[in-house]
Every structure is written in C-alpha cells, then in structure tokens.
Structure 1
C-alpha cells in the first residue's frame, strides 16, 4: 500500500477535486470527468452533506483557529493490484479510523472518498486539522508517520508490502532494502534491454514493459512502477527517455548493418557457388571432349 499525506489551505479546492475531478473547459467534459472518477463517499465523521455543505462546515470549524494557515489534511491510500477486493467496506472504515488515531484527528471532521478511476483501488481522506476545541492536529514528521502506518496496515490486513523510504529505516534495514532495490533495478534493466532489441520506437518499449506488469509514465521523461509500487525514474536505471531513444537508433543501425552483412555474405556465397558450378561444367566439358577424341 502506498500512503501519501499533505496539508493545504483550501477545503473548497481539495473537495472539488475529489468530488468533481479536475476542472474542465465545458460542462460536458466535466460530466465525463465525474463519470470516470466513479466517486463513492464511504464515511463521514463529525460532518455530513453535499460537497458545498462539507466545505462550509469545515471552514466554520477552521475559524476556531484563525492563525492556522493550512487547516486541511489530505491523505490518499492506494492499494496494489493483487490486493483488489481484499478489503471490505468496514475494513476500509476501520483503517481510516486507525489513520485518524495515528495523526490525532479522530474527533475532528473528516470525509472518506473512494475513487475507481485508476488501475489501483484507492481512497482519499480529507480532514480538518482544527478540532472543535480549536486545537490543531500536528503535521510534524507526517511522512515518517505515514510510512510507519502503511507498513503496519500491510501486516495487519495481509496486503502487498511496499518499501519505505530509506531515511525512515534503521541502518540494518537500509542495507537489506538497498539489496532488494538493486535486484528490482537489475530485473527491470534486463526487461528494458530485451524491449529495445525487439522494438522500433518508444511506444513499443512501453507496451513490452507494461506486459511484464509495470506501469510506465511517459511524458518529457520516463518512469516505471512495479507491482509492489516501487517507482524508478529511467535516469536511475541508465535508461532515461533520451537514452532509450538513442539505444533504439543504435539498435536499428546495428540491425541494418547485420542485414547488410548477411546480404553481402549471401552474395559472396552465391558468387562462390556460381564459380564452382562453372568450374564443374568446364571440367565436364573437357572430359566430354577428351572422351570424344578417344572414340574417334
């Protein structure tokens, strides 16, 4: 499981994104975006209503601490492909309650929204850092706390294990994890080497790698995420997008050279075969003439 945490200023902005998706140029496109996200609210705590009602309620409580410029907690929990269907509704609600306990907002307002717009089952939690007593839930060491929470939940619910960032691990754990990361890198690099040999363009490389169970992000650069949600930039592997394009061109030149060499070899063989055939015919002709002379 991958857990992310952030703080923000606007309940309106984050709730609009979760309920409506990214802002589109027209109403029709906005409806398509909404249908794609397949929004489902699975839990409310200390608040209730439509998106606009939730915004108003949370803003009113946030006013209890006007000095806090970032009253929004936004969490996302994303599960691996293999974990699809493992968790029931109550499991997810229980998980969020444990999250609220970990980050000290269990008595605050929060809403839990599930999305089905990606290949990974995932859900979002928007919480008010400001409680009804005006106190603010701390965001100190939030990334470390989220990594700890994710690893604990994976064990408790028998979910796919994901590697935590090295800086949150003990020295001996870092060594073991580095070995695992190196193994993952080498496996991916071998896939890329094979993909490049069998492809003529980057899209074909992308398709080959995706068929091996990776997610491929292709834009100005390239990145790969394996089934355990471990992500590598192409540059970390020696296969940045520019490197892949260069290797594809080199491979194509090499293949053309090999084809030319094969063709040249074939022509030489044909010439040698023709020469041998001509020599055999000449020998046969001489034998024939010699036999004709004896006969007379």
Structure 2
C-alpha cells in the first residue's frame, strides 16, 4: 500500500481526471473505473459532483485551491483481497488517520491498470467552513499506510518493484494526457491532476530543449525510458500534428517545475510508505 499526495486544485480538474472525463472514451470506457464511495455529494454524474464540491468550498472562499487528491495503490499480490468494500474500509481508515473528516469526499477505483488503486478526492473546506488540518501530511501519510499494512497484512513491495511499477503507472497517464493535446502547456495542465510534473533539459550548444523528464514526486525518468514515443522531439511533433501543422517548429516550452531530481541509482530515492 502506497499513498501519493497529489496536487491540490479545482474540483472540475481533479474530478474530471479521476472520472476519466477528459480521456479518450473509446479507451477509458465505463468498465475501467467506478465510484465506490462518497459522502456529501449530490448526484453521481461529473457535473453534479463538481457542483457539490464547489458549493462546499464556497463556505470558505479564502482557500483558492479547495480540492485535495490522494492516490492509494497496492501490490498485485493483494488483488484477490481488494474488493470494493475492503478498499472503502481502507480508505476511511486512512482518511481518519490523515485528519480528513467532516468533509465531502469521493472515492474512485481505477480498473485495468498496472496496479490496483483508488483515488480519494476531498474538500479541503470541511462542513463547518473550516480548513482541513493538513499539517505534516507526508509524515502522517507514511505512518498511516505503514500501520494499515501491518494491521491487515498487506504486501510490502521491494524497492525494485516500486521502480518498475512507477513506470507502469506513469505510462498510461501520460498517454491519456496526450489525447488530442495541442501544446506543451496543455500537456502540463493535463498531467498535474495525475500527479506528474515535467522538466526539460537543453542542448549545451544551442540552449534549445532536447529532452524531457517525467516525475511523480518519488521517481524521475527520461521520457524515452518510459516509452520511445515520450521523447521530447516525438512529443513536440505529435502536438504540432494535432494543431494541423505539417512540421513541428521547435519552441522553448514554458518553464515547468519538477518535484524530484534524477539520482545516480534508479531506486536510491524510493521511499516506501
């Protein structure tokens, strides 16, 4: 069991990501995901769920990015035990230990992926109009996942497997973000709810971008390490083709921050929760 605290933001973006609203509908069909639990949400379709979160967030307009997002994944060895009901139980225990209580939440399970996982989307404004206590979130998350794994005997994955699973999880997320994407900035916005940031590195002589790295906050990979189609040149050409331009014109992308740096050992920076 590994929990990743992802970027906070607006309900429309985060709910849209977990409910596959902006993905290729032919690939991400209704049988590839499902809502397994919610509280304080009026309705079960994308628009009504977003409206519910927005209404809740209006109780405290000082919080500009009111929606929190956490992805919780498991080792494949635990899949036979991971019924929807058990996942909901684990999610509620995790949220309780994270002090995510008295607030709206949505739990969405993603199916047919590299590893079993669900997403917790919650309102950072509670039902009383106060901000959820998110102090020391990363420490609390580490302690919570460890305690839950020990309690239920869930699998502790070795570091090498975590590295391989990270690639397997990032690849479909990047592919989904590419769907009909026309620019680097649009690509970056689509990747943010998926918990992925990008970093460009430049040619020493020309100063122009020549490569790209993707990071999920724990691992950082060159694009071509994940898939050859994710190299800088191929992505640049792909976006240009989507705009109707025959040939891509090299452009300096908008600078994008990265949450993790490449280290000498590909698994040296792994921290298992």
Q: CA RMSD in A?
A: 2.9
- Which structure is higher in RCO with an 8 Å CA cutoff and minimum separation 6? 2
Distance (Å, rounded) in 2 between the aligned partners of 1:66 and 1:34: 34
Q: Are 1:96 and 2:91 an aligned pair?
A: yes
Q: In structure 2, what is the equivalent of residue 16 of structure 1?
A: 16
Distance (Å, rounded) in 2 between the aligned partners of 1:237 and 1:73: 29
Q: In structure 1, what is the equivalent of residue 38 of structure 2?
A: 44
Size of the alignment, in residue pairs? 175
Distance (Å, rounded) in 1 between the aligned partners of 2:226 and 2:109: 28
Q: Give the TM-score taking structure 1 as reference length.
A: 0.53
Displacement of 1:140: 1.8
Contact 1:115 1:121 in 2 (8 A): yes
Distance (Å, rounded) in 2 between the aligned partners of 1:31 and 1:71: 28
Distance (Å, rounded) in 2 between the aligned partners of 1:72 and 1:45: 14
Q: In structure 2, what is the equivalent of residue 3 of structure 1?
A: 3
Distance (Å, rounded) in 2 between the aligned partners of 1:153 and 1:115: 21
Between Structure 1 and Structure 2, which shows a larger proportion of helix residues?
Answer: 1
Q: Are 1:68 and 2:63 an aligned pair?
A: yes
Contact 1:2 1:150 in 2 (8 A): yes
Distance (Å, rounded) in 2 between the aligned partners of 1:115 and 1:150: 19
Deviations 1:271-296 (A, max 9, x none): xxxxxxxxxxxxxxxxxxxxxxxxxx
Gaps of 5+ in 1: 25-29, 164-180, 189-216, 224-232, 239-296
Indicate how the Cα distance of structure 1 residues 135 and 80 shifts in structure 2: closer, same or farther if over 3 A, else same: same
Displacement of 1:69: 1.6
Contact 2:57 2:66 in 1 (8 A): yes
DSSP-derived class of the 1:160 partner: coil
Indicate how the Cα distance of structure 1 residues 237 and 132 shifts in structure 2: closer, same or farther if over 3 A, else same: closer
Off by >4 Å, runs of 4+ in structure 1: none
Distance (Å, rounded) in 2 between the aligned partners of 1:47 and 1:222: 37
Indicate how the Cα distance of structure 1 residues 137 and 38 shifts in structure 2: closer, same or farther if over 3 A, else same: same
